[in-house]
Amino acid sequence: MSTDKSIPYLILDFIREEGLVKGSHLPAQKLADRFNVSRSPVNNTLALLALKGFLIHRPNRGYFLEKPINTKLQMQLGAVQRDPVSSTYFKVADDVLKGALPLKFTESFIKNKYALSTTQLKALLNRIANEGWANRKAGYGWEFSPMLTTPDSLLQSYRLRLALEPAALLEPGYHLSPEALDKCRAAEHHLLDGGIETDSPDQLHERGVRFHEALVEASGNTFFIDTIRRVNRVRRLISYRSMQDRNRYTEHCQQHLQVLDLIAKNKLLDAAQMMRIHLQSTLGNLQKIRRLLGS
């Protein structure tokens, strides 16, 4: 049974990161939509995991989790190593930040430079386009977005977040559900328990994004929510580069947990102030991030 090499990794990582428990439903269409693929490779992967005993298939209902997934099991399944497309993705991201690629490029240029097949090239460009840091030009060719590829643009993005995120916590009717709060807490404890060192750049970035977006979404203000999502999409490149130094993540996790504790106690003014302190501490590290970008 063949599967796209990246799909097993993505599904297993999704199960582990979401903290799914035995009996959790894994809808094929929902997973296909999440990973921007067709249902066929998702169904193939789910069937494979069922054969290995990690899922159970119930006729007319779909697949359900039979065994919790952890990093050790992922390694046993051989699904923790990224596929060639993902490896190339990080090479391209790094080259863009270093200024080693032209802003305007053709598909054949990328295909030849990184020795990709036509299928791999399509998957790579689809991912880059979906994340918003390159777009197909009208007529012919592609163009990388110049947004958020410099330390100054990173500073501007954090100043926007410094204005927006504390304010979101003070919106009338603010409510972070107990389920969302528990999920945010679990993600921080995972990092403090070793995930800071072992998680991939993708995983680290997505955990941070989910934390900040979950807190803003609880405001119910659609303008705030749309803005934070846009900022998080386009700051991905610099986020990857800044992960070369992970020492700061322990402090970040501790600050995240402090914000969550204050929200749980409905001390929203204090939570907003803690969020402001958290974002300002990142701004204080800007000179270090400047050096990483310039390396």
Q: How does pLDDT run across 236-269, given as a tens digit for each residue?
A: 666 666 666 677 889 999 999 999 999 999 999 9
Domain with 118 in it: 84-144
Measured CA to CA, the distance from residue 284 to residue 295 in angstroms comes to: 19
> Cβ–Cβ contacts within 10 Å for residue 39, how many?
14
The reply to whether 1 falls in a domain is no
Q: Can you tell me which residue has the tokens 């410099």?
A: 150
Measured CA to CA, the distance from residue 81 to residue 285 in angstroms comes to: 31
Phi, psi of 185 (to 5 degrees): -60, -45
What confidence score (pLDDT) does residue 70 get? 60
Q: What is the DSSP letter of 19?
A: T
Pairing of strands 25-26, 62-65: antiparallel
In the listed set 144, 168, 186, which residue is the last one of a domain according to the structure?
A: 144
Q: Sheet of 55-58: strands edge to edge?
A: 25-26, 62-65, 55-58
Question: Is the per-residue pLDDT at 170 higher than 90?
Answer: yes
Better-scored residue on pLDDT, 121 or 246: 121
Same structural domain, 128 and 159 = no
What confidence score (pLDDT) does residue 181 get? 94
Better-scored residue on pLDDT, 42 or 166: 166
Considering its fold, how many domains does the chain have in total? 3
Same structural domain, 46 and 114 = no
Write out the two tokens for 203: 């995983």
Of 294, 187, 199, 192, whose CA–CA distance to 243 is shortest? Answer: 199
Same structural domain, 155 and 130 = no
Better-scored residue on pLDDT, 204 or 220: 220
Write out the two tokens for 42: 């998702």
What own/partner pairs with CB < 8 Å and gap ≥ 24 does 178-186 have? 180/214, 180/218, 181/260, 181/263, 181/264, 183/18, 183/19, 183/214, 184/210, 184/211, 184/214, 184/215, 184/256, 184/260, 185/257, 185/260, 186/19
CB contact at 8 A, 45 and 8 = yes
pTM value > 0.75 = no
**Over pLDDT 90: what percentage of the chain?**
35
Contacts of 75 (CB under 8 A, 6+ apart): none
CB contact at 8 A, 135 and 145 = yes
> Cβ–Cβ contacts within 10 Å for residue 131, how many?
15
Phi, psi of 186 (to 5 degrees): -60, -40
Question: Is the per-residue pLDDT at 193 higher than 70?
Answer: yes
Same structural domain, 112 and 181 = no
**Given pLDDT bands bounded at 50, 70 and 90, which one contains residue 5?**
very low
The reply to whether 206 falls in a domain is yes
Same structural domain, 211 and 288 = yes
**Given pLDDT bands bounded at 50, 70 and 90, which one contains residue 26?**
very high
Lowest average pLDDT, out of 5-19, 126-140, 244-258, 264-278, goes to 5-19
Same structural domain, 70 and 197 = no
β-sheet bridge partners, residue 56: 64
Crossing angle (nearest 10°) for helices 6-17 and 201-217: 50
CB contact at 8 A, 258 and 264 = no
pLDDT in tens, 27-65: 999 888 877 777 888 888 898 888 888 899 998 899 999
Q: How many residues make up the chain in this entry?
A: 295
The reply to whether 278 falls in a domain is yes
What confidence score (pLDDT) does residue 81 get? 45
Same structural domain, 197 and 252 = yes
Q: Which range among 92-106, 109-123, 133-147, 187-201 has the greatest average pLDDT? A: 109-123
CB contact at 8 A, 293 and 246 = no
